[in-house]
Amino acid sequence: MKAHHPWRVESAAFFKNHYSVEERANGLTQLRVIDRKTGTAEAIKFPDPAYVVELGTNAEYDTNELRYTYSSLNRPSSTFDYNTATKQSTLRKQRETPNLDPSQYVSERFWAPARDGAQIPVSIVYKKGLAKDGRAPLYQYGYG
């Protein structure tokens, strides 16, 4: 039987007034918050095109806060609380990374075709101002 959604549910957290789903689509995980009364669903927005996000420890049932962890190619691992009423995320903790200024870097995500026609997600990070002329060194890592 063919799935009717283009994403896969990986985890969920249930609360008094809402529930949250961690789902994967197009190679990225997203967090969706669903209101229990209305069924309205909203995805939490993230600032980078390539990232890792997962539900955190959410032990409190009667709360409007959803804890999650987030990191990207140019942002260190961070813990946030998302307020389902205001739809705002608040930074609670961030891994110390001396001398890292995320604003000095650009991250991009694009798709590259494989020989068989499949599309492969590619994520890159580089320092702002880099001349994209093919002469800069590259560290390449692949998995999967």
Question: Tens of pLDDT along 92-111?
Answer: 999 999 988 989 999 999 99
Query: Residue 5: what pLDDT?
Result: 63
**What confidence category does residue 57 fall into, taking pLDDT thresholds of 50, 70 and 90?**
very high
- CA nearest to 12, candidates 20, 24, 4: 20
- Record the pTM: 0.85
pLDDT score, position 33: 96
Residue 61 lies in a domain: yes
Q: Residue 131 falls within a domain, yes or no? A: no
Q: Measured between alpha carbons, how far is residue 96 from residues 14, 46, 100, 135 in Å?
A: 31, 20, 9, 32
Domain count, the chain: 1
Whether the Cβ atoms of residue 31 and residue 20 lie closer than 8 Å to each other: yes
- Does the residue 73 lie in any domain? yes
- Percent residues over pLDDT 90 in the chain: 78
* Residue 33 falls inside a structural domain: yes
Residue 67 belongs to domain spanning: 8-94
Q: Provide the pLDDT for residue 140.
A: 81
**How much is the pLDDT for 56?**
94
Quick: pLDDT tens for 67-84. Answer: 999 999 999 999 999 999
Whether 142 is covered by a domain: the verdict is: no
Q: Is 104 helix (H, G, I), strand (E, B) or coil?
A: helix
Residue 114 has pLDDT above 60, yes or no: yes
